[in-house]
Structure 1
Amino acid sequence: MAKVESFSLNHDLVKAPYVRLAGSETQQDVTIEKYDLRFLQPNADALPTAALHTLEHLLATQMRDELTGIIDISPMGCRTGFYMIVWGQHDIKEIRDALYNTLVFITKTDFVPAVAREACGNYRDHSLFSAKEYAQQVLDQGISLDPFQRIL
């Protein structure tokens, strides 16, 4: 069975919220990086699905305005954050700053993109109010550059 990096992470030792490089692969001189954008403490809390879904839509659009090379941003199955896959190599501070700016944007927006039936597979399951609350919670706590100690 193949080893999955995130299953090797000791979720009891991390201190959310944080950003971390969760993996990197280079083939034929092309690098792809995977980042762990952790909002909540694992095994202690989880984003409700409506908040998670709305955050996914807002991160998917706004992060692309902050950072080049984004391939995908997807929610974690445990609902404590998101994985982001990007082309090329990025500095962890660049990722953190892009996430910070996006969360500030989320706290101020009144618009969620792609929530119409034609654009979303579960268009009824959104909560901008909750997304704003969780975005503000992460901002209030600060986004660490290290998953195991609070480096802001």
Structure 2
Amino acid sequence: MSDKMNVESFNLDHTKVKAPYLRLADIKTGEHGDTIHKYDMRICQPNQGHMAMPALHSLEHLLAEMSRNHSDKVVDISPMGCQTGFYWAMINHDDYDAMLELLEKTLQDVLEATEVPACNETQCGWAASHSLEGAKEVARGFLAKRDEWTQVFA
């Protein structure tokens, strides 16, 4: 890999990172001064593990809904196609420690959830593909390694 690519994560050496972690991946500034901070929430070690799709899908719904109970700065939470984590887009939110706290609070909410939000054919494009227990298992595992979240590289 010699040429820099347009996508930030394509320039990241996935063989050198050590999941789990939360990494500030990019900052974009809009024409009016607003900033978008994109965080890489890596749950599984790249090329060694991945989340099962029903668990990932449910965790996406839970994170998207529950994170907004703790912050009005959440723009989007998007699953990675490789199924190893999520991207969090935050507007005008440049406090990494507060981001860690937001993530922790949201994952604690996931553990207390009794249902997956918007898990029906009216509100979801593939409502049959969900697992609340799978999402909780992923959240539990990530929370158990809370002290590792700030260390991105091995």
Matched, 1:148 2:123: no
**Is the aligned partner of 1:93 residue 2:97?**
yes
- Which residue number corresponds to residue 12 of structure 1? 15
- Aligned CA-pair RMSD: 1.4
Give the Cα separation in 1 of the matches to 2:44 and 2:71: 22
- What is the CA deviation profile of residues 72-102 of structure 1, one whole-angstrom value per residue up to 9, with x for unaligned ones? 1010011011001111132111111111111
Read off the aligned partner of 2:91 and give its amino acid letter: W
> How many equivalent pairs are there?
149
Alpha-carbon contact 1:41-1:80 (below 8 Å) kept? yes
Structure 1: which 5+ residue stretches go unaligned?
Answer: none
2:68 match: secondary structure: helix
Matched-pair contact (CA < 8 Å) for 2:73–2:93? no
TM-score by length of 1: 0.92
Runs of at least 5 residues in structure 2 that lack an aligned partner in the other structure:
none
Q: Which runs of 4+ in 1 moved over 4 A?
A: none
| Rounded Cα–Cα distance in structure 2 between residues aligned with 1:12 and 1:83 | 19
**Residue 2 of structure 1: CA displacement?**
5.1
- Aligned: 1:77 with 2:81: yes
Q: What CA distance in whole angstroms lies between the structure 1 residues aligned with 2:151 and 2:94?
A: 15
Aligned counterparts, 1:1-150, within 5 A: 3-28=6-31, 29-142=33-146, 143-148=148-153
Counterpart of 1:18, as a letter, is Y
